[in-house]
Amino acid sequence: MSDINRRDFMTTVAAGVAAAGSAATGAGAARVDGSGGQTTGPRTPAQTGLVAPAFTPLPLGAIRPSGWLQRQLRLQADGLSGHLDEFWPDVGQSQWFGGKAEGWERAPYWLDGAIPLAWIANDAPLKERITRYVDHIQKSQRADGWYGPYPVDAVAKRYDMWAILLANKVMAQYHEATGDARVLDAIVRSLRAMLQGLDRTPLYAWGRFRWYEGLVPVFYAYERTKEPWLLDLARKLRTQGVDFEALYRTGDLTIPTPRRGLWKWTKHIVNTAMATKASALSWRIDQRPSDRAFATHMIDLLDRHHGQVNGMFAGDECLAGRNPLQGTELCAVVEFMYSLEHLFSVFGDPVFADRLERVAFNALPATLSPDMWSHQYDQQVNQVQCTINPDHQWSTNGPESNLFGLEPNFGCCTSNMHQGWPKFVAHLWMKTPDEGLAAVAYAPCRASFQSRGVPVTVEVTTDYPFREAVTIAVSAERAVKFPLVLRVPAWADGATVRVADGPVHPMKAGSLHRLEREWSGIVRLDVRFPMRAKATTHYNEAVAIERGPLVYSLKIGEAWTQVNADKPHRELPHGDFEVKPTTPWNYGLALDPQRPDADIRFEEQPVGARPFSPDGAGMRAHVKGRRIPRWNLVRGWAGEISPADVAWSDPSVPVSSEPLQDLTLIPYGCTNIRITEFPRVKP
């Protein structure tokens, strides 16, 4: 996130307002100003006790997926997410649900994704089971407010508050989906117990590093009850939790964890991904200017020292530098997405939504199998095989970390992976403070909301991110005036919008484009985000190919072999698999990074039944390259290769004598094994 982008954004927001005519005035009106989408208007702490976000997420279930996104959610509901509780004891027999297995984070983690999945996909059997589970949590809550799995003498003992923070976040989602008043009551009673419990046993360990997750249910309960003690609890959590701004002043975070290095709380990748939203949540308490600035600073710092082209930062499972071999844990991917959804909501800066798309369309699908029955613990940007590898080079993870399986390395991702897609769907559109609607991210869906009491639906038809065109049909039950805000991605130079049969209007890249008008009947918007090939430079001066929100990787033939069949709960379809290459991968690209469009040809394909699979990829790229014979496996991974190894400017280096070949690249998210950061070879 560069300063240039931020400056562009601010001027564009201001220009967008001017172009759209005068902002709404009168009671309840607010205006988008140049401070990052923040609005002025009736939402100061003095009046509400809590600063309203720049954009408010719609209630769970108000946005339904369609097109490829509906297929993706259906795959998920028919895969591990929709069935984990039926065979995996850590969830199905959880103490949270009255069983004897784990009574800590795993069942709440699963619910955190299964609840939005079930209500968004409208999956009746899953909804029925979840209702039974949540009923049990609510009914087993004790008179003192503590939930069932915690010891009767919990308040007097030292214990980690993390699972309670998580459980209340989950219960808030269930309440939003169902309106079950008993569940809101359970949340409030639990939070009251926490307010007192924290005086005896302050936050430590996971709770101390994840204190801000507790603000999500605290704010949810406060917005519905206006109980002032809830804001005392919010401040207490912040006071007892880690001060990330201070932590990031230390510089330790910039140093990659050495291979076989030490696991550290402060460099833990999941804590880090979660903590990127801490300042946004904190800002809602009292608008500390430092909170607004730190959100951007923290991500900038992570990008500079650990950034990966798939939108993530490396962490396996501690921050690991920019090497494309080092990998990123799946929990961090879904948690970073959730953080970005909060960051955009609170601050209204489109940079956060650009980033959300990059992670959602690249890092998320890449690390899940196309059928969504298996997942990895760590994904690698350059990942040429996924095998059980005791000779691995992970910083702290075990030999199975890049297998596709049920619980490779550790079961946290098995329980936590489910929130990625459903929460992405739930945040595709958000409400503006002046009764309008904002497009946060683009994917086929149908959103319903009310503007000034008038029911409105917005239908998005598109194969974006595989295509440039997005059609939006706005349908109002009767005539109503409200702003429709379109996020224009920072890469989309030349973006345009055409309203009904009107003229084609330009939109500025990296802005929020505001259309203020009276909507009646069905109004069709034709939006176009031109996608141009871009070659970006990464670790060891390797190049990666990007186009729009997608990153492109070498398509490698794959052989999947089942392993660990003797381990518990590995009966198919939820087995463990090694993936090995059946075609060569050691290519360098022959292209001019300054003019990649001249050397790469993109070819549209139908978006498949499994949109994120090698065969279902909705776009292919054709480019020329040469094999690099000296680039081979080292310790089971693609070896590291430096520019000196492919010194094609030096005719004595034999690598350049390999013949030029036609190579096919497909979107990173469609691959299971891949090369993404390529050395360059002689054109």
Nearer to Zn ion by Cβ, of 230 and 330: the residue is 330
Q: How far is the CB of 331 from Zn ion (least distance, A)?
A: 3
Tokens of 371: 């059928």
Nearer to Zn ion by Cβ, of 163 and 474: the residue is 163
Nearer to Zn ion by Cβ, of 94 and 414: the residue is 414
Q: How far is the CB of 43 from Zn ion (least distance, A)?
A: 36
Q: Return the axis-axis angle of helices 289-306 and 330-347, rounded to nearest 10°.
A: 150
Q: Is 494 left (phi over 0), alpha (psi -120 to 50) or beta?
A: left
How far from the centroid of its chain's Cα atoms is residue 600's Cα? 29
Find the binding residues for Zn ion in span 399-428 (CB under 5 A).
412-413
How far from the centroid of its chain's Cα atoms is residue 536's Cα? 22
d(CA 390, CA 267): 24
d(CA 442, CA 376): 26
Nearer to Zn ion by Cβ, of 84 and 177: the residue is 84
Nearer to Zn ion by Cβ, of 295 and 412: the residue is 412
d(CA 406, CA 365): 16
Contact yes or no for 23/14 (Cβ under 8 A): no
Q: How far is the CB of 329 from Zn ion (least distance, A)?
A: 5
Q: How far is the CB of 415 from Zn ion (least distance, A)?
A: 8
- What are the DSSP calls for 485-531, one per residue? EEE--TT-TT-EEEETTS-EEE--TTSEEEEEEEEEEEEEEEEE---
Q: How far is the CB of 416 from Zn ion (least distance, A)?
A: 6
Q: How far is the CB of 215 from Zn ion (least distance, A)?
A: 22
Which residue in the shown chain puts its C-beta closest to Zn ion? 331
Nearer to Zn ion by Cβ, of 85 and 329: the residue is 329
| Cα→Cα distances 653→198, 650, 683, Å | 65, 6, 15
How far from the centroid of its chain's Cα atoms is residue 518's Cα? 34
Q: Which amino acid is at 381?
A: V
Q: How far is the CB of 410 from Zn ion (least distance, A)?
A: 6
Applying CB under 5 A, which part among 175-183, 211-219, 325-333, 463-471 lies near Zn ion? Answer: 325-333
Nearer to Zn ion by Cβ, of 264 and 580: the residue is 264
Q: How far is the CB of 317 from Zn ion (least distance, A)?
A: 7
Q: How far is the CB of 432 from Zn ion (least distance, A)?
A: 35
Q: How far is the CB of 243 from Zn ion (least distance, A)?
A: 25
Contact yes or no for 29/481 (Cβ under 8 A): no
Contact yes or no for 422/120 (Cβ under 8 A): yes
Interaction mask 326-345, Zn ion, x per CB under 5 A: -----x--------------
Give the interface size with Zn ion as a residue count (CB under 5 A): 3
Using the structure block, give the residue that is written with the tokens 């990659």.
Answer: 256
d(CA 350, CA 134): 35
Nearer to Zn ion by Cβ, of 412 and 638: the residue is 412
Contact yes or no for 540/640 (Cβ under 8 A): yes
Nearer to Zn ion by Cβ, of 331 and 472: the residue is 331
Applying CB under 5 A, which part among 324-332, 538-546, 548-556, 658-666 lies near Zn ion? Answer: 324-332
Residues 6+ apart with CB under 8 A from 31: 17, 23, 24, 39, 40, 41, 434
Nearer to Zn ion by Cβ, of 417 and 673: the residue is 417
Q: What residue ranges bind Zn ion (CB under 5 A)? A: 331, 412-413
